[in-house]
Chains A and B, each alone.
Chain A
Amino acid sequence: MGRDPVFIVLTIVMTLLLLLFVVYPLASVFITSFRVEEEVSLENYADFFRYSYYYRSMLNSLLLGIVTTVIILVIAFALSYTISKTNLPLKGFLKTASLLPLISPPFIFSLALIIIAGRRGLIYQFLKISPNIYGWPGLITAQVLSFLPLGFLMVNNVLQSLNPSLEDASLDLGASQARTLFQVIIPLSLPGLFKAALLVFIISLADFGNPMLIGGGLPIMATDAYNLWIGEQNMEMAAVFCILLIIPSIFVYVVQNYLLKEGSYVTVSGQMMATEQRKISWFIQYPFFILSIAVVLIIISCFSVIFINSITKLFMINNKLTLEHFSSYAGWRALKTSFTVSSIAAVITAASSIIFSYILVRKKPKGRQLLEFTALLGFAVPGTVMGIGYILVFNRYPLMLTGTLLIIIINIAFREFPVGLEAGISKLHQIDISIEEASRDLGAGSFQTFIRATLPLMSSAFAASFLYTFMVGMITISAVIFLIAPGTNLASLLILRLAETGNIGKASAMAVMLTIIVLVSLMMLKFISKKSKVEMLKGF
């Protein structure tokens, strides 16, 4: 296909935007981390590893990540096994309930845990003992519950894509079910489980809301970077934290996208035969089942507790039903701001990711891999890092953007851009190229072909990226907390502030409203991706 000037210009524009809004902020963070009184030095890093109050947060973050990941993998495997291999009852319920955390702001479990086991929580009211939920126990529980859906979806996918005849073959050769589980199913799932583990690990590492709310002062990298910046104005050390946070994320994404693409056992060729659910020995299925039920019950209680808190005056002390928590002026204003910001960001992401995916797939520009990787950076890098990068870059002439809503919109748009890109690319792979060739053959130019033939076919990818970006925009905190101006507020940030100041009723009400908005978007998203087979959240 000929080189169309429109696409060349678009490619250049897009490249420049990526450089400005992804690469430049990250590069600034990188440079800042080496700055000691206007000179380049490794002193900051040396300080980091010298003083325990710095490096302890790294050890804590790593430990938190590992513990959370291991627990999630075990639960996710139990859930997936129960759902895809046994014929126990309640499978649909288990599946739905374990995915519930997807539709809530990621720190909702911290909020719920504080309500249940905080200083004046339900446990205290009932038993007059005050469990110390702040710190490790609360943080691990909250993270496990928050990120369980991610782990579950990935592990379940692994188990379901295992060729069932391998299991059949094992049983056929006389192996017991336990033996089949340990010698066939688990070893074959390992590459997939490893992938899931890596993702859960970096998401735990990047998590900001939970450590903020329920960390109880435990040094954790993502929140410490924030405190260093906001509290101590120590931007060089904050930058060091950022760089050390980025390294594992980038490492994981590189491994995910370039090394693990092959090497998985799930793509065994040949026809898959649906195997009838067979009876599984009780000592295999019941431990898995009971664990799954227990976790799901905890998830449901957390949601219930939030809901009850939002509609009672002061739950357990004054149980009068009320809607007053829903009628806060500040709340509605923050919600409106969030809504506006997320919608605009979503339109930008959806439109640009469609155009750009088209260019990447069909025009195959030079350096395609590099462009894709650059775009992915925005998504892969923890929000805290992007937030700090944006402040570094956009608080001075000529791009004095901090404090405006525009910078928040841009931040959300560029962070979710790779997800939209993925949706666009997967949709394009479904559209036969001969449709475009036919259009060219009938006399339409390259750009006209895109507008008239391809674009209409990609409307589902557009809708999917729009909804996804919108959804994430509504609940994100880590990056935007750096960028928000005094006097304005976003719904997700407001929940955090309300919860921190003990205003649980209002925080719960906001959380309920956010959950409903996200739920509606998610249902629409699911509907669209089911109808149009647009692949979303692949790497997510």
Chain B
Amino acid sequence: MMANETILELTNLVKKFGNVVAVNNLSIPYIKRGEFVTFLGPSGCGKTTLLRMIGGFYYPSAGDIIMHGERINDIPPEKRKTSMVFQNYALFPHMNVFDNIAYGLRVKKLSRKEIEKKVLNVLSVVQLEGLGDRKPTQLSGGQQQRVALARCIVIEPQIILLDEPLSNLDANLRVMMREEIRKIQQSLDLTTIFVTHDQEEAMSMADRIVVMNQGKIEQIGTPIEIYEKPASLFVAGFIGHINLVKGKIKSRQNETLTIATDLGEFINMNEDLKGFKAGDTATIVIRPEASSLEKAPSKGKGNSFQGRIRSFTYIGYIARYYVEVSGRELPFIIDISNPGGRGILKKGEQVTITLPLKFHCIKT
């Protein structure tokens, strides 16, 4: 088995429920062994439907699910080498923790001794030693979560599927479990697909994120790519805060673009934007932390424009300024780190905003 082997491939998948198209002609070229992939999107975007198709709970209306080069569209869940952690954990309430975890092993008709060894081992992996006799109702939410995970990984599936597993936990526990799942996943080298609507969860856990909207894929990429180079306005808006400025490419000179906008002309030396030529419309995408903010107008400086501070929120490690700029309805958002050290600008103050020399643009 190669480390770089492709385990799962989805081509042109469609899923319809009656007239509703939940998944609309969607492809993921590869998911590799040991990879942690997150399906991220707002509720109703089709991410759970997609996951359930991979698990075998829904059958695709069209397209192919290919696992290890083999088409598995019509294979029922009990024959698939996937295993799922359900959003509500779906622990069998009439069985104790041990029996829940042993369920899949008993199905495989392993010997009693082997089952015991494996269950005890996985109980220690998820740090639930000694709780084998408990009924699921006697466990806390976090513990139930661990049992569900243990039950899923103990049968050594090729892919584990997690359907918003952290959404029923409170905020602190959620962050803890995030790290723990990631740790277990890495130590066992598990290929994992994780569905969530929480962008922070996706960013912090995934090797790659599949951003979905309305049954389609908006972008597939690493967290850095998704954040820094969103492929669409949807992705840009869904992940984090963003400033968007509409404009037009005025000219192109080698790697340097000149973009005309309502806020003035900007130079962009980002060499990744090869697809743009003069005359294209482009939306400038600037993260709040990417531009700089200076007190008092400084005239003649490149890539900058004037504004006035409308309001700000002090968060501690940053201060977030909402800057009013003429020719623009929405305020321009700028995060400044270490506000305590640098001093906080006051409401109403005149400021100059300077864009970086390299920034991301989306063709619109």
Contact = CB atoms under 8 A, between A and B. Distances in A.
B84 A265 contact: no
A168 B168 CA distance: 19
B57 A175 contact: no
Contacts of B155: 173-174
Nearest to B79: A174
Interface stretch (A125-133, A273-281, A352-360, A454-462): A273-281
Contacts of B90: 163, 165-166, 168-169
A175 B108 CA distance: 8
Interface of B: 48, 52, 55-59, 76-80, 82-84, 86-94, 103-104, 107-108, 151, 155, 168
A271 B88 contact: yes
Contact of B55 (A163, A172, A183, A270): A172
A184 interface: yes
5 contacts: A165-B88, A168-B55, A171-B77, A173-B83, A174-B155
Interface in A283-325: none
B168 A270 contact: yes
A17 B88 CA distance: 49
A176 interface: yes
Shortest beta-carbon contacts, A-B, top 3: A270-B88, A173-B104, A165-B90
A176 B78 CA distance: 6
Given A165-B88, A173-B155, 8 more contacts: A165-B90, A166-B90, A170-B103, A172-B57, A172-B82, A188-B93, A265-B93, A268-B93
Contacts of A278: 57, 76
B94 A188 contact: yes
B108 A172 contact: no
Nearest to B102: A173
A269 B55 contact: no
Contacts, number: 88
Q: How large is the interface on A (under 10, 10 to 19, 20 to 34, 35 or more residues)?
A: 20 to 34
Interface in A164-203: 165-166, 168-177, 179, 183-184, 187-188
Main secondary structure of the interface of B (DSSP, over half): loop
A315 B86 CA distance: 61
Q: Is the interface of A mostly helix, strand, loop or mixed?
A: loop
A489 B107 CA distance: 64
A422 B56 CA distance: 43
A52 B92 CA distance: 49
Contacts of A187: 94
Give the one of A168, A173, A268 with max B CB within 10 A: A173
B151 A271 contact: no
Contacts of B92: 166, 169-170, 184, 188
Contacts of A268: 88, 93
Given A270-B88, A271-B87, A279 B76 contact: yes
A275 B57 contact: yes
A174 B168 contact: no
Nearest to B88: A270
Interface string A509-520: 000000000000
Contacts of B108: 174
Given A171-B78, A278-B76, A179 B107 contact: yes
Contact of A169 (B56, B58, B79, B86): B86
Contact of A168 (B59, B84, B94, B151): B84
A165 B86 contact: yes
Contact of B76 (A171, A184, A270, A273): A171
Contacts of A275: 57
A276 B94 contact: no
Contact of B57 (A168, A173, A176, A269): A168
